[in-house]
């Protein structure tokens, strides 16, 4: 079997399995299941980030960061669910402050081979912020949307929305870039990205935004057609930036993929790189523009 065909089949199988997990989690309606899924994916992505640093020979405090990530995700989920955004922000800031103190404390008693101590601390902190802090916005979106008549959460459908629109953006970038790509976007970062791909990403993201709203209108009731258009553009652009951001990290780490867990795709980070930027955009749009949750 030709390598391109084999790669496509592996990618298709990995994608189908991941979407089966996502849809099963969303449609189940169980908040704890959703939390476990998001936490597991986030921690795997963080592990891959530090593994890339290890392969590059960059010293870091991986174990400290992973333990902090577990506390961060679990505590943020509990405080946001139980007390709302303000308490969640306080908790997250407290965890980050303690994390900084621990990292500085560890650095005082550790040799860093030939690397500057500042680099060790910066790389360690960056992983926690880039992967865990940004990805954790998915769990927060669940509790912004109004609850149903029986008190059930409806925010998981908004999570599904942001995931699908993000993937529509990825597909639009790939299709438009493959068919019409002539003008390179940022060749020093990703030689295959083009301006035509960027336009395709935004257009397909907007189309996916409206399409999903028409498919499940009752589940996305806080949106108006204007919101769908604006979010389609914002999420489409953010998805492209998120993909390029991971390319910067992988180039710096001299890695082709973040890992090999997902055949045909690469690692977990390769799968969620765009979501790391679209999830916060979605959250702050719902929070600041739509004013959720309503008092």
User: pLDDT value at position 172?
Assistant: 92
Cα(152)–Cα(155) distance, integer angstroms: 9
- Cβ(134)–Cβ(277) below 8 Å: yes
- Cβ(285)–Cβ(162) below 8 Å: no
The closest alpha carbon to 33, from 21, 44, 51, belongs to 21
User: pLDDT value at position 114?
Assistant: 54
Cα(127)–Cα(47) distance, integer angstroms: 9
- Cβ(45)–Cβ(265) below 8 Å: no
Give the C-alpha distances (Å, rounded to integers) separating 274 from 111, 252, 292.
35, 18, 24
The closest alpha carbon to 248, from 52, 19, 92, belongs to 52
- Cβ(52)–Cβ(94) below 8 Å: no
**Residue 147 DSSP symbol:** P
Cα(163)–Cα(150) distance, integer angstroms: 26
Cα(233)–Cα(169) distance, integer angstroms: 9
pTM: 0.90
Residue listed under structure tokens 């791909």: 197
Residue listed under structure tokens 């030939």: 114
The closest alpha carbon to 17, from 265, 219, 192, belongs to 265
Cα(174)–Cα(169) distance, integer angstroms: 9
Cα(293)–Cα(206) distance, integer angstroms: 25
- What's the N-to-C CA distance of the chain in angstroms? 59
Cα(251)–Cα(257) distance, integer angstroms: 10
pLDDT along the chain (295 residues), means of 10: 60 71 76 88 94 90 95 94 89 95 83 69 94 94 85 88 93 90 88 92 97 91 96 97 93 84 79 94 96 78
């Amino acid at each position: 079997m030709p390598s391109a065909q084999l790669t496509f089949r592996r990618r298709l199988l990995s994608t189908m399995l991941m979407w089966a997990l996502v849809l099963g989690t969303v449609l189940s309606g169980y908040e704890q299941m959703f939390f476990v899924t998001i936490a597991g994916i986030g921690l795997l992505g963080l592990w891959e980030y530090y593994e890339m640093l290890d392969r590059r020979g960059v010293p870091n405090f991986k174990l400290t960061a992973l333990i902090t990530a577990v506390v961060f995700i679990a505590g943020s989920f509990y405080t946001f669910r139980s007390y709302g955004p303000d308490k969640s922000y306080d908790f997250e800031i407290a965890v980050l402050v303690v994390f900084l103190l621990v990292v500085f404390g560890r650095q005082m008693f550790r040799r860093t081979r030939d690397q500057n101590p500042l680099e060790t601390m910066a790389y360690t902190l960056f992983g926690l912020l880039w992967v865990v802090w940004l990805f954790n916005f998915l769990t927060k979106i669940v509790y912004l949307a109004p609850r149903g008549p029986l008190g059930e959460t409806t925010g998981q459908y908004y999570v599904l929305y942001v995931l699908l629109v993000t993937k529509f953006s990825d597909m639009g970038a790939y299709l438009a870039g493959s068919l019409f790509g002539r003008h390179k976007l940022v060749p020093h970062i990703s030689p295959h990205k083009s301006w035509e791909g960027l336009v395709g990403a935004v257009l397909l993201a907007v189309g996916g935004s409206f399409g999903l709203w028409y498919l499940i209108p009752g589940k996305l009731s806080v949106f108006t057609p204007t919101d769908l258009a604006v979010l389609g553009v914002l999420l489409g652009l953010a998805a492209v930036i998120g993909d390029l951001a991971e390319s910067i990290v992988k180039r710096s780490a001299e890695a082709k993929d973040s890992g090999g867990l997902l055949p045909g795709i690469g690692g977990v980070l390769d799968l969620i790189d765009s979501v790391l930027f679209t999830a916060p955009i979605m959250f702050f749009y719902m929070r600041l523009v739509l004013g959720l949750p309503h008092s």
